[in-house]
């Protein structure tokens, strides 16, 4: 079976290379926005949805008109249009993801993607990487690429702290695993704002990690408050103080990046442990946007927990071992159902942590009860 895996490396482009990358970011942004605008008009006037091949035709005309586009990596421009097409496809499939947005120059997140053609992208050694139009770039290749991995594409990015990265996508062939699942080796993870999740099985996120992470978030919020104070209402690039603002912006971005990486490292380590321990993991198919609304003032925590990222990592790791992640429908009443007698407690609100079943009088811890229900429901799905 063909599989894909991406590796992300820090790169250290020279001044000239940074200028060239900047041009590429700009050209991709321009092309993306130009065709987004065209798609909008075309839909409003003729109710027609444009496809990649329509864009590609028109791109040649645009290049005649705007000569400077020819200086950039031409494949990256095509990739920007493929991204646009995908954004529209996703939007039409699920309008909740939102109509494609214009790319803004000032959001400090820049990237472009390009495809490997005749080895114009290559990892030279553990300190250098070759990129089309850019040449050999200094890099920190911190991990070995296994034999049999074929380099497919690269995404160059500049993050808000000013650092540069390249994410390299590989394709490889993996033998099917013949792992036989033990259905009794199953666990239900019920999402929790405070602890990330709760199980009935003594599995929990390292409290030390949670403590350090929450402290880090407090520090980040403090840095952000200072930043917003420095942004006066008539903030203007020319006026004094903008330097202080920029300095603080980078401080915030660096700390944000540090915290994100720390979380990713931990999630990686922890999802490995879970995937080793269990054969089947059951979670609720949550809509995090809706959850954030339900938690109101605590909504931010819902996003900071990055539950989606956590479950994606878990899914990949389980599936690589031939194991399973089961998602239970979000309308399944995992919290309201008594796992002993099956009574559904419609009166249970989100702030009640412990409750007694009015029918069988079992005392429930809200989250533990939910995790047992998830486990039972997962087993039902598995057996159906």
Which residue ranges make up the site for Zn ion (CB under 5 A)? 338, 340-341, 343, 357, 359-360
Cα separation, 13 vs 15, in Å, equals 7
Q: How far is the CB of 333 from Zn ion (least distance, A)?
A: 13
Give whichever of 97 and 360 is closer to Zn ion, judged by the CB atom: 360
What is the radius of gyration, based on Cα positions, of the chain?
A: 25
Cα separation, 134 vs 227, in Å, equals 34
Give whichever of 154 and 374 is closer to Zn ion, judged by the CB atom: 374
Whether 304 is catalytic is no
Provide the 8-state DSSP code for 218: H
Torsion of CA 364, 369, 372, 373, to 10 degrees: 120
Whether 367 is catalytic is yes
Catalytic residue among 73, 85, 110, 190: 190
Cα separation, 20 vs 283, in Å, equals 45
Which pair of tokens denotes residue 113? 């993607």
Q: Are 17 and 166 in contact (CB under 8 A)?
A: no
H/E element, 271 = helix 242-277
Q: How far is the CB of 342 from Zn ion (least distance, A)?
A: 7
Give whichever of 256 and 337 is closer to Zn ion, judged by the CB atom: 337
Which pair of tokens denotes residue 222? 């403090």
Q: How far is the CB of 338 from Zn ion (least distance, A)?
A: 3
Which pair of tokens denotes residue 52? 């990649």
Q: How far is the CB of 50 from Zn ion (least distance, A)?
A: 56
Determine how many CB atoms are found less than 10 A away from the CB of residue 89. 12
Q: How far is the CB of 382 from Zn ion (least distance, A)?
A: 24
Which pair of tokens denotes residue 117? 């053609």
Give whichever of 117 and 341 is closer to Zn ion, judged by the CB atom: 341
Q: Which long-range contacts (CB under 8 A, 24 or more apart) does 36-39 make?
A: 36/84, 36/100, 36/102, 39/84, 39/88
Catalytic residue among 73, 85, 110, 284: 284
3-state secondary structure of 329: coil
Q: How far is the CB of 355 from Zn ion (least distance, A)?
A: 10
Give whichever of 255 and 332 is closer to Zn ion, judged by the CB atom: 332
Which pair of tokens denotes residue 344? 């559904």
Give whichever of 169 and 357 is closer to Zn ion, judged by the CB atom: 357
Q: Annotate 183-197 with DSSP letters as a single string.
A: TTSEEEEEEETTTEE
Cα separation, 323 vs 223, in Å, equals 42
Give whichever of 113 and 373 is closer to Zn ion, judged by the CB atom: 373
Owner of token pair 């497919």 = 152
Q: How far is the CB of 284 from Zn ion (least distance, A)?
A: 20
Whether 257 is catalytic is no
- Which active-site residues does the annotation give? 190, 284, 367
């Amino acid at each position: 079976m063909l599989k894909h895996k991406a590796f992300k490396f820090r790169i250290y482009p020279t001044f000239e290379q940074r200028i060239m990358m900047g041009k590429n970011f700009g050209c991709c942004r321009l092309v993306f926005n130009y065709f987004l605008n065209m798609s909008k008009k075309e839909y409003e006037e003729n109710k027609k949805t444009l496809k990649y091949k329509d864009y590609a035709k028109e791109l040649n005309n645009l290049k005649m008109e705007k000569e400077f586009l020819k200086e950039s990596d031409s494949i990256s421009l095509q990739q920007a249009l493929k991204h646009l097409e995908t954004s529209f496809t996703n939007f039409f499939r699920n309008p909740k993801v939102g109509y494609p947005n214009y790319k803004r120059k000032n959001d400090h997140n820049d990237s472009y993607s390009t495809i490997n053609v005749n080895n114009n992208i290559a990892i030279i050694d553990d300190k250098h990487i070759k990129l089309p139009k850019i040449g050999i770039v200094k890099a920190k290749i911190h991990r070995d690429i296994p034999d049999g991995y074929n380099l497919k594409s690269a995404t160059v990015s500049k993050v808000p702290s000013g650092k540069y990265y390249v994410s390299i996508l590989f394709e490889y062939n993996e033998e099917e695993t013949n792992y036989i699942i033990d259905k009794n080796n199953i666990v239900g993870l019920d999402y929790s704002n405070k602890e990330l999740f709760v199980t009935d099985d003594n599995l929990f996120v390292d409290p030390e990690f949670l403590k350090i992470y929450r402290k880090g978030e407090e520090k980040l919020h403090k840095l952000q408050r200072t930043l917003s104070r420095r942004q006066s209402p008539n903030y203007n690039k020319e006026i004094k103080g903008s330097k202080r603002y920029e300095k603080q912006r980078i401080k915030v971005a660096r700390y944000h990046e540090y915290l994100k990486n720390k979380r990713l490292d931990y999630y990686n380590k922890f999802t490995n442990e879970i995937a080793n321990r269990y054969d089947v993991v059951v979670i609720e198919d949550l809509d995090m946007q809706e959850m954030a609304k339900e938690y109101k003032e605590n909504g931010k925590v819902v996003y900071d927990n990055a539950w989606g990222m956590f479950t994606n990592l878990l899914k990949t790791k389980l599936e690589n071992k031939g194991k399973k992640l089961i998602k239970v429908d979000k309308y399944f009443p995992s919290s309201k159902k008594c796992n002993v007698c099956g009574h559904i407690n419609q009166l249970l609100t989100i702030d009640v942590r412990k409750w007694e079943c009015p029918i069988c009088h079992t005392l429930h811890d809200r989250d533990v009860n939910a995790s047992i229900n998830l486990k039972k429901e997962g087993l039902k799905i598995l057996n159906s």
